[in-house]
Structure 1
Amino acid sequence: MKINKIIIILVLSFNSLLLKAQETLPIYSDYLSDNVYLVHPAAAGIGNCGKIRVTARSQWSGITDAPSLQTLSAHNRIGDNIGVGFILFNDKNGYHSQQGFQGTFAYHINLSRPDDVNQLSFALSLMAVNNSVDESTFVIPDPVISQIVRSESYFNADFGMAYHNKGFFSYFTAKNIMLNARNLYNPKYESLNLRRYLVTLGYYFGKGENLQFEPSVMMQAIERTGEKFADFNIKVYKNVANAQLWAAFSYRKSFDNAGTQDLNYITPIIGVNYKNYMISYTYTKQTGDILFDNAGYHQISLGWNFLCRTPRTSGCPNINASF
């Protein structure tokens, strides 16, 4: 491995270790691949179908020990009001890795007749995460942490709300609200305040037309650092025989992040829903003056909808599965 690549990985890995190591699932743009539950727990069991989703993400292609992420998620509604779900994930970033399990309980309140969409939702996710850091193969000795393999487990929680009314959808999530202390890293550099707040607003329109459109925005803020980000998204759908073709484009921009490098990303996504199956490909490219690497980030998502019920008369695709 070239020395410049080693330095890049070390710097980015320790930034993740010291500032974000105790956070749970990283927040990318894969929620646009009909996978809102990865970001917002209130999406558990929110629609007319149960959903299983598998994702595999690879970053900085061509660099050894580059970040990677794999997730397996499933959620469904039980009865008229209760939603349940779980997420398994494996996240690796240089010499740091974490594996976690998240379980979700959601409650959905229908504010109109059962076949229409006017719904308020609440959810709580509890998770157990195991973090480990492997410095045994460091080429450059680290003066702060001994060159050993260490592992610690901890618990965390997310709270979420959602409101849907016909084609309008909105979500609010507070992440990392119940973080317990641990000693994997030097406490001098660690903070237990890793709360992050996310708000998503969007509207789906064009039902019955040749094309359907779904513009949305997702805003997030990190309490400790004051960092703010916004995703500006557009998604387009087209029905073809027994399939639905769709494409999405997302632009993530950072705002007022004093003292840190502004990070901006563009993410095109393409996918197809065939009967109860879904497959999509996501490509993310960083833009700006300082780039970690010229390569992009690649992700494949696979999905299966199960135990589908009769669709409601209106609602975004997260409420009404395509087929």
Structure 2
Amino acid sequence: MKLINKIFLTGVISLLGFFNAQSQEGLPIYSDYLTDNYYLIHPSMAGASNCAKVRITGRQQWFGDDDAPRLLTASANGRIGDSQSGIGAILYTDKNGYHSQTGGYITYAHHIMFSRSDVDLNMLSFGLSVGAIQYKLDESAFINEPFDPIIAGVDQSATNFNLDFGFSYHLYNFYAHATVKNMLKNDGINANENGLFAYDNPRQFLGSAGYVFAKYGSTWAFEPSVMFQYKDGTKESSIDINAKAYKELEFGKLWGGLSYRRSLDGADYYEGNGVSSQKLQYITPILGIDYKQFMFAYTYSYQANSVVFNNGGFHQITLGFNFNCRKERYHCNCPAVN
């Protein structure tokens, strides 16, 4: 029995390290960007808005379960004076069971206007982020288990550096973003010192596009959008289909929406005497309010699959503050910029 426990424990640690390396290289990508925070995934959005922005997001999964995944991010970005350049910074900590990562990014972006005046929005932006990420594996909980040479019983850690690069294009009510995250090839992220499950290609490709519809003089606006992501190392891909609505109020703005994420890759599992397949699906309602220079948003994600670890969902709260705001210059319905 001790031998079986030892083999099981070793396998769990190795597999957890493997999946953690695949899915959590750098800042995890959830639905945070939909809470007025496109800079969190696209570095070219640093300083794109008329206001400098601070955003703090807390995300918790599966309340009631010990060591459930949780994420905390803090970001700030804005223009450099009256120039066409912007800067930004992101700090985050992400914990999932015995694995955790803490990272930070600094960003420079440049915005090129193609229109003859600021009234018409026709802007191309480029952004580059430099990041440092520290990974940790806490093995202290396993020191009383049967001896295993690959378990040191301490906090193991490693640090990697990487780059994100992307561009954004805004034309009146239309926008599009494309970003390559984790451009550099790592020396190898391993589940343990023995090099099991080496993973050295964390590159990820992101693409977003959307349009804001509104009648002239109306206090309502509607924004459909999509976001596609592809992980080069594991050949995984998924797509988000989003819809948001905005209502102008005397004190600010009320907004909400719905996001649907679906993986384009399936996973097989045993069901009865046969084998079934399922694809990861998230349904995410969003509700937010802008009050003067402050922003508050709540997001809930539900995993709509037959086989899940827990029926509980993801709860997310975002707090924001805008400052150094310039007068709205563009005659467009473009919430991320105006």
What TM-score, normalized to structure 2?
Answer: 0.87
Alpha-carbon offset, residue 315 of structure 1 = 4.3
Q: Does residue 1:118 correspond to 2:135, yes or no?
A: no
CA shift, 1:243, in A, is 2.2
Partner residue of 1:253 out of 254, 257, 262: 262
1:317 is matched with: 335
Would the alpha carbon gap of residues 13 and 258 (structure 1) be closer, same or farther in structure 2, given more than 3 Å must change?
Answer: closer
Q: Aligned pair 1:174/2:180, yes or no?
A: yes
- Paired residue for 1:32? 34
Query: Structure 2: which 5+ runs fail to align?
Result: 1-8, 269-276
CA RMSD after TM alignment: 2.2
Q: Is residue 17–residue 191 contact of structure 2 (8 Å, CA) maintained in 1?
A: no
Helix, strand or coil: the match of 1:37? helix
Contact 2:222–2:244 (Cα < 8 Å) also in 1: yes
Out of 286, 289, 293, the residue aligned to residue 306 of structure 2 is: 289
% identical aligned pairs? 46
Q: Which residue of 2 aligns with 1:63?
A: 65
Q: Deviations over 1:258-297 (max 9, x none)?
A: 6695210000010100011000001001011211211111
**1:36-75 CA distance string (max 9 Å, x none):** 1111111111111110000111011110001111111000
Q: Can you list the C-alpha shifts for 1:167-226, whole angstroms capped at 9, x where unaligned?
A: 001000101102432566343412211111010010012153132100000011111221
Q: Aligned residue for 1:200?
A: 208
| Structure 1 gap ranges (5+) | 1-6
How far the C-alpha of 1:247 sits from its partner, in A, is 0.4
- Cα displacement (A) at 1:152: 1.6
| Count of aligned pairs between the two proteins | 313
**Contact 1:205–1:214 (Cα < 8 Å) also in 2:** yes
Cα distance in 2, alignment partners of residues 183 and 145 from structure 1: 17
SS of equivalent residue, structure 1 residue 289: coil
- Native 8 Å contact 2:14 2:191 kept in 1: no
1:104-125 C-alpha deviation (Å, 9 max, x unpaired): 0001100102232100011110
Q: Give SS of 2:141's match.
A: coil
DSSP-derived class of the 2:279 partner: coil
Q: Which amino acid aligns with 2:170?
A: H
- What SS is found at the alignment partner of 1:291? coil
Mean CA deviation greater in 195-204 or 254-263:
254-263
Check whether the contact 2:188–2:200 (CA below 8 A) recurs between aligned residues: no
Q: Residues of 1 paired with 2:327 and 2:229: CA distance? A: 34
- Matched-pair contact (CA < 8 Å) for 1:162–1:172: yes
For residues 17-56 of structure 1, what are the structure 2 equivalents within 5 Å? 17-21=20-24, 23-56=25-58
Counterpart amino acid of residue 90 in structure 1? T
Q: Is the 8 A contact 1:55 1:72 kept in 2?
A: yes
Name whichever of 175-184 and 76-85 sits farther off.
Answer: 175-184
C-alpha separation between the residues in 1 aligned to 2:76 and 2:290? 17
Contact 1:42 1:160 in 2 (8 A): yes
Structure 1 counterpart of 2:95 = 92
73-82 vs 273-282, which deviates more? 73-82
